Amino acid sequence: MSALLTSRNVADVLSGVTNGVIYSLVALSLVLVWRSTRILNFAQGAMAMMATYIGFALLAPSTNYWVSMAVAIVAGMAIGGATERVIVRALYGKPEINPVVAMVGFLLVLESVAAAIWSTSSRGLPTPFSMVDWQLNHKPVAMSPFALYEIITAVAVMTVIAVLFEYTKLGLRLRAAAIAPEVSRLLGVRVGRMLTLGWMLSSGVGAITAVLVASNYFTGLTPTAMDGVFAFGFIAAAIGGLDSPVGALVSGVAMGVILQFVGDYLNSNAIILVALGMLVVSLMVRPNGVFTTARQRRV
Amino acid sequence: MIRVDDVSVAYGAVNALRGVSFEAATGAITAVLGANGAGKTTLLRTISGLVAPRSGSVWMNEARLTGQRTEDIVRAGVGHVPEGRGVIAEFTVEENLRLGAMITSRPLREALAQQYEWFPVLGERRKQAAATLSGGERQMLAMARALIAGPSVLLLDEPSLGLAPLVTAQLMRTVADLCASTGLTVILVEQNARSALRIAERAVVLYLGRIVADDEAAAVGRDDQLRQYYLGMVE
Amino acid sequence: MGPVQATQRFVATTVLCVVVILASWLGVATPRVALALVVVVDVFVISVSLLTSRSFRRDHPVATRAVLSLVTVDVLVAASGFFSATVNSNLAIGAAMSIVLLGLSFLTGSSGQISIGNGAFMGVGAFTVAIWANHHATTPIAMVLVLAVVAGGLVGLLLGLPATRLRGPYLAGMTLAFAVAFGAILNLFGSWTGGDSGLQLPYAVNAPRWLFHFYSSATSSLTVNSVWLADVAIVTTGVALFFMANLFASRTGRAMRLVRDNDVAAELVGISLPRARVIAFIVSAAYAALGGGLWTIINNAVTPSTYGFALSITILSLVVIGGIGTIPGAIIGGVIYAFSANVIAWITAHTGLNPQGNVASQLNGIIFGVLLVVTILFAPTGIAGVVRRWAARRPR
């Protein structure tokens, strides 16, 4: 048994899952925004990065990790809400291309401002749990306390969001505002507020994700730390379906595992290429995602 | 009581309503009739605030509705069942009703129970996705969803659309009974003039955005000219 | 315009040309300079004469576009002889960027598709030129540039095929993934692409012998070379501009605009949606590759870090700020890019910022990013669009 657990393939699976839940979280953020406002938030990663800087770089370095995490989450929600009210709201009803362009521009601004204030050098964050792999019979298992923390946090976040949407009054309103905004208004739902809230939830989740990514001392916190993760997260969301939270979870984890094997058995440069290939193939077969509930447009 | 006071609405260059004025008495059913494009739906949307008039205003008793947001007008007691019903197909019957009940302070269980009493079919299908309902059932769901909040005014936009005559008749009966038992003020927009006139006390006829008749329902129903030219009721 | 006026025009033009020839012959020292002067001025005179003729413009639209491109190239080439090396260098870089912007402007404006990966397509062209030149040093530049265009077009086809089935945000995401993946692709073929440090061209690109003497009247060889490079860029841009103008006005171009505005209607009319979209994609990729190839020639080297995701965003910003879907917009964007470095340096100097500091190095990103957001919010048609609207309002 212990030989199995320390074997190369199981190690890849475990590492893959650890990476995969991060992609799932990013994908979930994108799904939240897409479902509420039909916009693909390209600045998602950058907003989350900025929130992390606010939580960890603005406050004194000696601040407790959990306090900084809480500040980052609040900052993230504030950024998300402000972005929806100021930028996104002005773009409703405009051509599809406009919000994409605006978010890309916003991404550039956020990364440049962060680099201007805090420079591009990597910043280490306090690590709340050890990153040393556990040992089984003196051989390492590809799981450390930190990795387990990542997985548990991700699962907890996804559960909270799922419960919120499916079982609470607020969730009902959020879903209604996204699916049928006019009808919802006729039922007294304050649709504008629901849209803002959707963005706030998305960027709150995003902030948690960025903190997890940045807490990894191999990468640390840089203005562009979330770029790669965002790319993978987007691919996961696109494959799973931009309107499907379940899709986000499944495709994120699946991608994490598959790419871990690719990196291990092939070449680390091949990882993004395989991911790109998966995206292309998946979108050709299922243009709206594998788990989508959207119907194909018919003339 | 709903009072529409000299309301004009334009969509860009198109005048949808021109100087429309009438009153819908409290506790009565007022039918709004006319052909396609006459402005009936626009009228309802103006009352519930989805559309802002270029001039004129809408009043509910002493309160001015025009200028307020739809969400607030609805909370003031105006229920609007839109054209096409607006049933949220992805939700279950019960979820649709729960959504409607958001703005009322009545306990949810009580409110739901009452709707299931008035519309037993909904009770049977409460856990089903709304997409699986028939046309008539969806219309009932849409009405129940508007009624669950306990409005004092109900705006109904073409409830008989796409429904078989038998179902339509049943629906109209239900509306009439509700109105009689709860004192609801109903404004009923219909292309199917005959079925509407059977239950309405008053009727208003629109033609190209203007009112061409405003009289007791029976009188409107008897007027041959109206019947032929504006209501398409060919005997 | 009647035949009398046409004859008058013809006579006037001929007389002017002859006068110029005589004046140059008698007044200028070397015969080569005289010849250059004659060519430049007479081309200008003839072009202006043709362009001011309404009947010519009306009856020969393609020729009109050709003449317009020709006269622009003519003026700029003449001017480049008098610019400093720095200005010429900026001009060359900006002209190459204009080509890239033309391609992207066509893609977004014509068929409504979004691409945030054109920086990577530039890289394809850039590396194609570098790799080819390193293995076949004798190929003339024109041929190498054509190769870059073909390479770009092929990659564009590769990505354009799946792109046809994707709606806006998904397509944008796919191009983003490509932009991010490009670096990995370069690394994967590191032996060809020179890894992190990139490649150098084995020779300095200079004017060929038969033209060399036109360029040798300047003092230093550095200035000569920069004039030549600027002229290469200008001529290439002129050619690219001509083709793009024709494409915009052609049936294909109009079909694509229909695809952009209402693809349901386009399908009903019988336009093959996928085909229109793929063509647009290929064109934008080919143009980007051409611009990248020019950059390699101008800089005499190529480094992978140039062609990262940030470049793709910059390209998108310039297209939007200049004016999506318009040719003047692309030119404006190129000009902005050409002199943005200077403007930013000026700002840094005048606001007392530390030029080596964090803020200064990020100023480029901050300004472009903010401009992009502000433009899309308040003036989505860009500078070209605003000018067009303002011009339309003026009383005739």
Instruction: Concatenate the DSSP letters of all residues of B91-119 into one string.
Output: SBHHHHHHHHGGG--S-HHHHHHHHHHH-
Residue A296: predicted pLDDT? 46
Chain A residues with beta carbon closer than 8 angstroms to that of C166? 283, 287
Mean pLDDT of the residues in chain B: 88
DSSP letter assigned to residue C304: G
* Interchain pair A189, B71: CB under 8 A: yes
- In this prediction, residues A51-79 reach a mean pLDDT of 89
The phi and psi torsions of C213 (rounded to 5 degrees) equal: -70, -25
Q: Considering the entire predicted model, what is its pTM?
A: 0.84
* Interchain pair A180, B86: CB under 8 A: yes
Instruction: Kindly state the percentage of chain B with pLDDT values over 90.
Output: 43
The count of C-alpha atoms lying within 13 angstroms of the C-alpha of A54, restricted to the half-sphere facing its C-beta, is 20
- In this prediction, residues A40-63 reach a mean pLDDT of 89
Residue C125: predicted pLDDT? 93
Residue C342: predicted pLDDT? 82
- Mutation target to probe the A interface, by most A beta carbons within 10 A, among B45, B46, B70, B105 is B70
Q: List per-residue pLDDT tens for chain C, 396 residues long.
A: 566 777 777 787 788 878 777 777 777 667 667 777 777 777 787 778 777 777 777 777 788 788 888 888 888 887 877 778 788 888 899 999 999 999 998 888 776 778 889 999 999 999 999 888 888 877 788 888 999 999 999 999 988 888 777 777 788 888 888 888 888 888 888 777 777 777 887 777 776 666 666 665 544 555 567 778 888 888 889 889 888 888 877 776 776 666 666 656 665 666 666 777 888 889 999 999 999 999 998 888 888 888 888 889 889 999 999 988 788 889 899 989 988 878 888 888 787 777 677 777 778 888 888 999 999 898 888 888 888 888 877 765
Question: pLDDT digit string (tens) for C48-75?
Answer: 877 777 777 777 778 878 888 888 888 8
Band (A299; pLDDT cuts 50, 70, 90)? very low
Residue C270: predicted pLDDT? 60
C342: tokens are: 């200077």
CB B24 within 8 A of CB B187: yes
Residue B220: predicted pLDDT? 82
What's the gap between Cα C126 and its chain centre? Answer: 14
ipTM metric: 0.89
Cα separation of C155 and C22, whole Å?
Answer: 52
Asked if residue A5 has pLDDT above 90, the reply is no
Asked if residue B186 has pLDDT above 90, the reply is yes
CB C105 within 8 A of CB C327: yes
Q: At C357, is the secondary structure helix, strand, or coil? A: coil
| C/B touch flag: 3 or more CB pairs below 8 Å | no
Residue A47: predicted pLDDT? 95
Residue A129: predicted pLDDT? 84
Band (A217; pLDDT cuts 50, 70, 90)? low
Choose among A52, A58, A99, A117: nearest CA to A79. Answer: A52
CB A18 within 8 A of CB A151: yes
Residue C134: predicted pLDDT? 84
Chain C residues with beta carbon closer than 8 angstroms to that of A231? 176-177, 180
Cα separation of C98 and C394, whole Å?
Answer: 29
Residue C340: predicted pLDDT? 85
Question: pLDDT digit string (tens) for B60-102?
Answer: 988 899 999 999 999 999 999 998 888 998 899 999 999 999 9
- Mutation target to probe the C interface, by most C beta carbons within 10 A, among A108, A273, A284 is A108
* Interchain pair A40, C169: CB under 8 A: yes
Paired strand residues for B31: B188, B203
> A34-70: string of b/e by CB count within 10 Å (b at 16+)?
bbbbebbbbbbbbbbbbbbbbbbbeeeeeeebeebbe
* Lowest-pLDDT choice from A120-129, B81-90, B125-134: A120-129
Shortest Cα distance, chain A CAs vs residue C359, angstroms: 4
Cα separation of A22 and A148, whole Å?
Answer: 12
Cα separation of C77 and C75, whole Å?
Answer: 6
In total, the C-beta contacts within 8 angstroms joining chain A to chain B are 56
C51: tokens are: 């362009």
Cα separation of C296 and C229, whole Å?
Answer: 11
Residue C257: predicted pLDDT? 67
Q: At C78, is the secondary structure helix, strand, or coil? A: helix
Band (B151; pLDDT cuts 50, 70, 90)? very high
Q: At B54, is the secondary structure helix, strand, or coil? A: coil
Q: What is the CA radius of gyration of chain A?
A: 19
A258: tokens are: 């598959």
C133-to-C89, C191, C193 alpha-carbon distances in Å? 21, 15, 12
Mean pLDDT of the residues in chain A: 87
A236: tokens are: 């996961």
Choose among B187, B157, B172: nearest CA to B1. Answer: B187
